[in-house]
Copies of this chain bind each other. A is one copy, B any other.
Amino acid sequence: MGRKLQFTDVTLRDAHQSLFATRMKTKDMIDIAPVIDKAGFWSVEMWGGATFDACLRFLREDPWERLKILRKLMPNSKLQMLLRGQNLVGYRHYPDDVVKAFVRKAAENGIDVFRVFDALNDLRNVEVAVETAKECGKIVEGAISYTVSPVHTEDLYIELALQYKEMGVDIITIKDMASLLSPERAYSLVKALKEEVGLPVHIHTHCTSGMAEMAQLKAVEAGADIMDVAISPLASDTSHPCAETMAFVFKGFGYDVPLDKDALSKMAKHFKEVRKHYKKYDMDFKGVDAGVLEHQIPGGMMSNLVNQLKEQGALDKLDEVLKEIPRVREDLGYPPLVTPTSQIVGTQAVLNVLSGERYKMITQETKNYVKGLYGKPPAPIKEEIIKKILGEEQPITCRPADLLEPELEQRRKEIGDLARSEEDVLSYCIFPQVAKEFFEWREKVEKGEIPAISEEDLADTMEEENLCPQPL
């Protein structure tokens, strides 16, 4: 038998994040968790990314509770989370004390594999998280945010991977969130990583552009060790290559594929039903998004642009904006177009076109970006742009989080008794407003002041049972 391949199931995290707005509830994971636990995956990604926020904000669930529940139900599995470096599971940089405490609590509650990344690949933004996870004795994946630009050469990626290796990560992940990784680049990049870095390589792709399966196939041919997959009813489209399909394909080529067919089949049956519960959040993605191949603008960014222009009554300027985007991206040092840089670049391009003069109007986010508050861009920002935007102000050169005061103790005091655990305090550090509302809701439920069921659940139940309020 051939070389052994490993698979990470991302059904419980990235699949529903990509397909139906991260809305999957813990109750839809519980029955199937013991089956996933024995399906033969190398790891199960089930936490982090947008799930933390979605739990608190939309589902009225405690994300830490989900972790504890799944930990108990999956004793044989390595549980994996996606960690946005210094952003943790939020959208801004948090101070080091919060980062350290969060990683420790995540490890303590059962995370075995930390996949850490930074949108700009500024590895200063991941180092505290990586160090802390390693101190906890956990497996760390150093993830490279993949993009395409004149400065994103193979050498750059190798350099990043070597820095990650230096930091002590166990695995290098190619994180292709925007579905830009071509099969040809996948092959050459993985080959170079295996030869020049020597760590195991894990591939994370999305199917949006139609290249993901081919990219994974060529990555494996070049020596990739682990790949991310989702179970069939939640695979493809903006999600990930299908678990059953990739298992079948690589078995066909003679690889050793440790996945259990019956378990996958049970998972498929389960999640086919589960997906129906979230119909109203479903992306309704049709066909292939070929736009990303042409101009690297992911579908979500494109619809944001269209909406922005519509609001201004300037939809006829769309072509101009699409031409402006690569110029802004070049000006700003070729950031990958993902959250938050896709919004920064997109909005700035719209302003540049609508105001009639480039960088006449500037958003606070663009200013912060140019100041260096998001980290160091892949290439230097153009001198004249820095001058135009910052004037006399100087960009920072230190690690952005070096400018942040510790927050943990202050937050602990603020939230007081509403927090019942260190985990609650951390939720509050990351999403103060949202977590506080959740805690207050929880208290009211326990006091019997409001029903135990969340508004969300209530709305669903009403829909399901057709309990629409009757006009009297």
* Residues of chain A at the chain B interface (Cβ within 8 Å): 182-185, 209-211, 213-214, 217-218, 232-237, 239, 241-242, 244-246, 248-249, 252-253, 261, 264-265, 268, 272, 275, 282, 286-290, 293-294
Contact = CB atoms under 8 A, between A and B. Distances in A.
A288 B268 CA distance: 10
A254 to B, nearest CB: 8
A375 to B, nearest CB: 30
29 contacts: A182-B249, A183-B249, A183-B253, A184-B252, A210-B232, A210-B235, A211-B248, A214-B214, A214-B217, A217-B218, A232-B288, A233-B286, A233-B287, A236-B236, A236-B237, A236-B288, A237-B287, A242-B287, A242-B288, A242-B290, A244-B293, A245-B288, A245-B290, A248-B290, A248-B293, A264-B290, A265-B290, A272-B287, A275-B286
Nearest to A210: B245
Contacts of A248: 182, 211, 290, 293
Contacts of A245: 209-211, 288, 290, 293
A234 B294 contact: no
Contacts of A294: 244, 261, 265
Residue in A234, A248, A253, A286 with the greatest tally of chain B CB atoms within 10 Å = A286
Contact of A214 (B213, B265, B282): B213
Residue in A210, A213, A233 with the greatest tally of chain B CB atoms within 10 Å = A210
A184 B265 contact: no
Given A210-B236, A214-B217, A288 B244 contact: yes
Contacts of A217: 183, 214, 217-218
Given A184-B252, A244-B290, 15 more contacts: A183-B217, A183-B249, A184-B249, A210-B242, A210-B246, A211-B248, A214-B217, A232-B287, A232-B288, A233-B287, A236-B288, A239-B287, A244-B288, A245-B288, A248-B290
Contacts of A293: 244-245, 248
A319 to B, nearest CB: 11
Contacts of A242: 210, 287-288, 290
A232 B292 CA distance: 12
A5 to B, nearest CB: 14
A155 to B, nearest CB: 19
Contacts of A253: 183-184
Contacts of A244: 288, 290, 293-294
A81 to B, nearest CB: 24
A468 to B, nearest CB: 21
Residue in A218, A242, A272 with the greatest tally of chain B CB atoms within 10 Å = A242
Contact of A252 (B182, B246, B249, B261): B182
A242 B253 CA distance: 24
Contacts of A210: 213, 232, 235-236, 241-242, 245-246
A137 to B, nearest CB: 37
A235 B183 contact: no
Contacts of A265: 290, 294
A355 B58 CA distance: 51
Contact of A268 (B185, B261, B282, B290): B290
Nearest to A217: B214
3 nearest A-B pairs in the assembled complex, by CB-CB distance:
A244-B290, A210-B245, A232-B290
Nearest to A252: B184
A183 B182 CA distance: 17
A184 to B, nearest CB: 4
Contact of A288 (B183, B235, B261, B290): B235
Contacts of A209: 245
Contacts of A287: 232-237, 239, 242, 272, 275
